[in-house]
């Protein structure tokens, strides 16, 4: 039996392989971004389960919640085992470390596969897994390492069943590391970071080297007391050879990954090491770029992007945020809702008079989060469009009066700009539309404190800072069909569609600093405009053919979306122009009350009890 799957080769021919098993309702795309977070550069084989439950994909059937069809579980386990063995033979898995990664239903299937007498995995990462075959014996797991992540408040999997599973795995000889968090069935950032550390230790051979060294030392002590037998000397030779092999491989890998950063965040890695790293990076980027171009030739024609749709940012305080963006910047709050992925916090949308696509600046509130540590691989500055050069003089004076931190008026690609920051340190700029040609701006908010002739009229050029310029260039031009139109110093200007400030991205390369560590004041993602759901569906097909980690179709109610994380780990979104913010409110009353999409309306009482009212 075959399984629908995606296979992406790693950065090197014998890179470790992550085999992904999604949870109920997921598919072969669901865990790609998780895999990239855990093991950047690894090869990935992502599977789709062959069973359906109410239209949702699963890896085995169940009769009801908690009541498993064990016969079907065993049958599908055998089918998967045969499929993985055959696939592994064709892709040299025997020469590579193979690690299974599963969430919920997928993790349960991995545990069932570990019961097989001949394990196809060297390691496993189990998020919210349990053992539905605890009465059956495991195979020999002495050479298998397992990471188990469990939630203390998980309503679907009890602590007792998780503890029983880990005990059974250890009894079968597996090396098991547990990570317990104060969480439910959903994953937490701490668990992902812990799994990343476990993976790095596993693939580097740390645990194997410790075991080898222990046995080498035991034989050395025995040799001092008596002559070793011929069999012991043969074993001693093999152990030493294996130890040296791992050491050499680890040393080279560490050399390729080492980066020395001084207290100011500057890269002070020795020049000779950087030369080797740059050569490897260049080879990897060229290989990825060539593979991408080959895949894009096979992709179907797609609708052209219109430009920027919206930009989402993290704020530390919704009340301060509302005050700054409406009373200082004069933007209109067009939608007050909640983060659909965390309904305990606000998601605020500011835009023009109508809430038009291309004018939306949105904010997720995450109280108590840390400040952003600036760095590369980030959306490093966001532009807001104003009508004229004279408008910048107005804003310069306004910022002085209101004590807003800002720079002097300067020029960027022939247009006047004024860079500034909000109270969270969010990097922003005003850009003059006086000489702009291309995507039209929006209609400024008539009810704001800023005169219409100087008011903000939409989103402008966005700046990205990346460590791998070639990969970002390939992503923009080969996939998104942006055009490279100008260069000014380190800044390279790209545009799409009609062009102009509403459809432009500036990219600059920075390989001398660490990647940004997001917090409040960081830009979460950049969304690009597509016409409608039909156009979005075409883009979903195109992105899937690239093999890049993506969300698949997402319904945000006010627009439909697709999320994709490109090679520098910057998150892009494709968003439809409609239905729009007037779907559940009249234009005249946009943003005045808490709006919830239909699928959250039933939780309104709970949601409102968790939110602190804004002073509107």
pLDDT, residue 37, reads: 84
Contacts (Cβ under 8 Å, ≥6 apart) of 10: 16, 17, 41, 42, 43, 44
The single residue listed with the structure tokens 């009465």 is 135
pLDDT at position 183 is: 84
Residue 212: its pLDDT value, please?
Answer: 72
Per-residue pLDDT at 206: 57
Q: What is the pLDDT of residue 531?
A: 94
Written in H, E and C, the secondary structure of 478-490 is HHCCCEEEEEECC
Crossing angle between the packed helical segments 533-546 and 271-298, to the nearest 10 degrees:
130
Q: What is the rounded average pLDDT of the residues 426-449?
A: 96
Instruction: Give the chain's mean pLDDT.
Output: 88
* 578 or 188: which leads in pLDDT: 578
Query: Which of the four pLDDT bands, split at 50, 70 and 90, describes residue 83?
Result: very high
For 458-510, the pLDDT digits (tens) are 999 999 999 989 889 999 998 999 999 999 999 999 999 999 999 999 999 99
Q: What are phi and psi of 503, to 5 degrees?
A: -145, 30
Q: Characterize the bridge pairing of strands 504-509 and 17-21.
A: unpaired
Q: What percent of the chain shows pLDDT beyond 70? A: 88
Asked if 446 and 455 count as a contact pair (C-beta separation under 8 A), the reply is no
What local confidence, expressed as pLDDT, does residue 565 receive? 85
Closest listed residue to residue 360, CA positions, set 456, 497, 500, 494:
456
- Going by pLDDT thresholds of 50, 70 and 90, the confidence category of residue 207 is low
**pLDDT tops 90 at residue 294:** no
Q: Which tokens hold the place of 325?
A: 């963006």
Tokens of 40: 């950047």
Residue, of 29 and 574, whose pLDDT is higher: 574
pLDDT for position 362: 98
Is the predicted pLDDT of residue 271 greater than 80, yes or no? no
As given in the structure block, the two tokens for residue 404 are 């807003």
Please provide the distance, in angstroms rounded to a whole number, between the alpha carbons at the two ends of the chain.
59
The SS3 call for residue 473 is: helix
Is the pLDDT assigned to residue 383 strictly greater than 90? yes
**Average pLDDT over every residue of 564-591:** 91
Fold of 5-204: Rossmann fold (3.40.50)
Predicted confidence at residue 252, as pLDDT, reads: 56
What is the predicted pLDDT for the residue at 167? 93
* pLDDT tier at 541, thresholds 50, 70, 90: confident
Tokens 């055959």 label which residue? 86
Residue with tokens 């009066």: 401
pLDDT tens track for 8-47: 877 665 678 999 999 998 888 888 878 888 988 788 999 9
Quote the pLDDT of residue 246: 63
Higher pLDDT pick, 349 / 344:
349
Confidence of residue 277 (pLDDT cuts 50, 70, 90): low
pLDDT tens-digit series, residues 148-180: 999 998 888 999 999 999 999 999 989 999 999
- The CATH architecture assigned to 308-610 reads Roll (3.10)
Out of 196-205, 330-339, 388-397, 406-415, pick the least confident: 196-205
C-alpha 368/C-alpha 512 separation (Å) is 30
Residue 404 or residue 249, greater confidence: 404
Q: 208-254 has which fold?
A: Helix Hairpins (1.10.287)
What's residue 401's pLDDT? 97
Check residue 437 and give its pLDDT.
95
pLDDT in tens, 230-262: 988 888 888 888 777 666 655 555 555 566 666
Residue 237: per-residue pLDDT: 86
Strands in 308-315's sheet, in edge-to-edge order, are: 332-339, 342-351, 360-365, 308-315, 523-530, 571-579, 559-565, 554-555
Tokens of 152: 């203390």
Query: Over 90: is that where the pLDDT of 453 sits?
Result: yes
Name all contacts of 575-579 with Cβ < 8 Å and 24+ positions apart.
575/309, 575/310, 575/357, 575/527, 575/528, 575/529, 575/530, 576/529, 576/530, 576/531, 576/532, 576/533, 576/535, 576/536, 577/306, 577/309, 577/357, 577/529, 577/530, 577/531, 577/532, 578/532
The confidence score (pLDDT) of residue 581 equals: 92
Cis before 363? omega within 30:
no
Q: What is the pLDDT of residue 20?
A: 96
Q: Which residue has the higher pLDDT, 259 or 327?
A: 327
The Cα 9–Cα 449 span in angstroms is 55
Closest by alpha carbon to 129, among 50, 57, 24, 277? 24
Q: How confident is the model at residue 299 (pLDDT cuts 50, 70, 90)?
A: low
* Share above pLDDT 90 across residues of the chain, in percent, rounded to a whole number: 57
CB-CB neighbours of 279 under 10 Å: 11
| Confidence band, pLDDT 50/70/90 cuts, at residue 333 | very high
Q: Which of 31, 162, 181, 167 is nearest to 103 (CA)?
A: 31
Three-state DSSP state, 539: helix
pTM of the model: 0.66
Same fold, 208-254 and 308-610: no
Which tens digit of pLDDT belongs to each residue from 351-377? 999 999 999 999 999 888 889 999 999
To 5 degrees, how large is the angle CA 449–CA 453–CA 455?
Answer: 45
Residue 164: its H or E element: helix 159-171
Closest CA to 438 of 501, 348, 383, 349: 501
Q: Which of 290, 296, 208 is nearest to 9 (CA)?
A: 290
Any idea which residue has 């899937």 for tokens? Answer: 544
What Cα–Cα distance (Å) separates residue 511 from each residue in 142, 377, 470?
Answer: 42, 9, 12
DSSP symbol at 326: I
What is the domain partition of the chain in residue ranges?
Answer: 5-204, 208-254, 308-610
Pairing of β 123-127 and β 98-103:
parallel
Residue 45 CA from chain centroid, whole number: 18
pLDDT digits (tens, 9 = 90+) for 46-79: 999 999 988 889 999 998 877 889 999 999 999 9
């Amino acid at each position: 039996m075959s399984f629908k799957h995606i296979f992406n080769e790693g950065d090197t021919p014998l890179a470790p392989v992550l085999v992904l098993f999604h949870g109920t309702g997921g598919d072969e795309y669901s865990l790609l971004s998780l895999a990239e977070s855990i093991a950047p550069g690894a090869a990935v084989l992502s599977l789709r389960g062959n069973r359906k439950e109410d239209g949702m994909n699963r890896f085995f059937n169940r009769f009801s919640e908690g009541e498993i069809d064990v016969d079907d579980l065993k049958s599908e386990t055998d089918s998967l085992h045969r499929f993985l063995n055959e696939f592994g033979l064709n892709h040299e898995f025997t020469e590579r470390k193979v690690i299974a990664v599963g969430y919920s239903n997928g993790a349960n299937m991995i545990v069932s596969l570990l019961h097989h007498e001949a394990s196809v995995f060297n390691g496993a990462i189990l998020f919210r897994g349990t053992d539905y075959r605890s009465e059956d014996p495991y195979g020999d797991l002495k050479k298998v390492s397992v990471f188990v992540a469990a939630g203390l408040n998980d309503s679907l999997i009890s602590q007792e069943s998780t503890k029983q599973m880990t005990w059974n795995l250890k009894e079968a000889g597996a090396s098991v590391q547990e990570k317990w968090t104060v969480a439910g069935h959903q994953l937490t950032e701490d668990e992902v970071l812990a799994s990343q550390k476990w993976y790095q230790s596993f693939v580097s051979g740390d645990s194997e080297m410790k075991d080898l060294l222990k046995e080498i030392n035991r034989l050395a002590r025995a040799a001092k007391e008596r002559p070793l037998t011929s069999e012991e000397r043969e074993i001693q030779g093999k152990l030493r050879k294996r130890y040296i092999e791992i050491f050499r491989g680890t040393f080279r890998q560490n050399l390729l990954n080492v980066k020395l950063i001084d207290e100011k965040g500057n890269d002070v890695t020795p020049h000779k090491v950087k030369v080797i790293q740059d050569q490897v990076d260049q080879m990897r980027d060229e290989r990825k770029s060539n593979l991408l171009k080959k895949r894009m030739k096979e992709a179907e024609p797609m609708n052209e992007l219109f430009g920027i749709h919206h930009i989402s940012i993290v704020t530390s305080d919704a009340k301060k945020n509302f005050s700054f963006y409406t009373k200082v910047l004069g933007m209109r709050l067009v939608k007050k809702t909640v983060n659909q992925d965390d309904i305990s916090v606000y998601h605020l949308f500011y835009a023009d008079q109508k809430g038009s696509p291309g004018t939306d600046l949105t904010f997720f509130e995450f109280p108590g989060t840390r400040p952003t540590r600036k760095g590369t691989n980030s959306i490093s500055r966001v532009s807001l469009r104003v009508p004229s050069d004279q408008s910048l003089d107005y804003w310069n004076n306004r910022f002085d009066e209101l004590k807003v931190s800002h720079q002097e008026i300067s020029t960027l690609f022939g247009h006047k700009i004024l860079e500034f920051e909000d109270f969270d340190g969010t990097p922003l700029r005003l850009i003059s539309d006086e000489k702009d040609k291309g995507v039209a701006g929006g209609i400024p908010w008539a009810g704001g404190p800023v005169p219409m002739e100087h008011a903000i009229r939409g989103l402008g050029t966005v700046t990205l800072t990346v460590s791998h310029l070639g990969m970002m260039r390939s992503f923009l031009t080969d996939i998104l069909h942006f055009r490279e139109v100008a260069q000014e110093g380190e800044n390279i200007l790209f545009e799409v569609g009609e062009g102009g400030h509403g459809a432009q991205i500036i990219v600059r390369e920075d390989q001398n600093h660490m990647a940004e560590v997001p917090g409040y004041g960081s830009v979460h993602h950049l969304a690009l405009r597509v016409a409608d759901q039909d156009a979005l569906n075409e883009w979903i097909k195109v992105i899937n053919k690239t093999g890049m980690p993506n969300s698949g179709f997402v319904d945000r109610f006010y627009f439909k979306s697709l999320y994709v994380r490109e090679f520098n780990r910057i998150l892009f979104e494709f968003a439809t122009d409609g239905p729009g913010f007037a779907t559940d409110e009249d234009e005249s009353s946009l943003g005045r009350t808490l709006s919830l999409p239909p699928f959250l309306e039933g939780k309104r009482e709970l949601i409102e009890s968790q939110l602190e009212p804004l002073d509107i």
